[in-house]
Amino acid sequence: MMKLIKALFFRFLTLIALVLVATIWILLDARPVIAQDNTVNYTYGELQQQDFSHKDLEKGVFAAADMREANFEGSNLSYAIFTEATLLKANLKGANLTSSLLDRVTLDFADLTDAILIDAIATRTRFYDAVITGADFTDAVIDRYQVSLMCERAEGVNPVTGVSTRDSLGCR
């Protein structure tokens, strides 16, 4: 009988210890969640020819949005998400796209003059016939084939960062 009581007592202590460890783990891992009231979300939006020029759209979400001929000139789009978006003929002159996610985006015929794409991720993104004069792609992740096409027409120096487009793309 005494062995049974000891065994039950140790199981009870083990259960208490596990609950205590789990509670401490949850409390240490808990981070306050901050609502982002100012974050714009245009996922799947039909935003053709919309004017977003000179706006603060930091951390905005434009996933799968159709933004043909949209105007983002001079806008802050740092940390924005453009996954699978269409920016065909869009105006991104002087836009700040630092650390943005541009995965599988169509930027054909877009104007990226003096745009900043430092640390941007632009995998499987198309830049066919995009104007990239003065754009800064420092440390951006871009498919090798797209980089080779852009190097053929890369020229200019970004007026904000002072980095040449050719250098930022790693052109030879």
CATH architecture of 42-171: 3 Solenoid (2.160)
For residue 82, give the nearest of 34, 52, 129 by alpha carbon: 52
- Per-domain residue ranges of the chain: 42-171
Per residue in 125-134, pLDDT (tens digit) is: 999 999 999 9
What pLDDT is attached to residue 22?
58
- Report d(CA 60, CA 116) in Å as an integer: 16
- Report d(CA 67, CA 47) in Å as an integer: 5
pTM > 0.85: no
Q: What is the DSSP string of 22-82?
A: HHHHHHHH-------TT--B-TT-B-TT-B-TT-B-TT-B-TT-B-TT-B-TT-B-TT-B-
Q: Which of 13-17, 36-40, 84-88, 108-112 has the lowest mean pLDDT?
A: 36-40
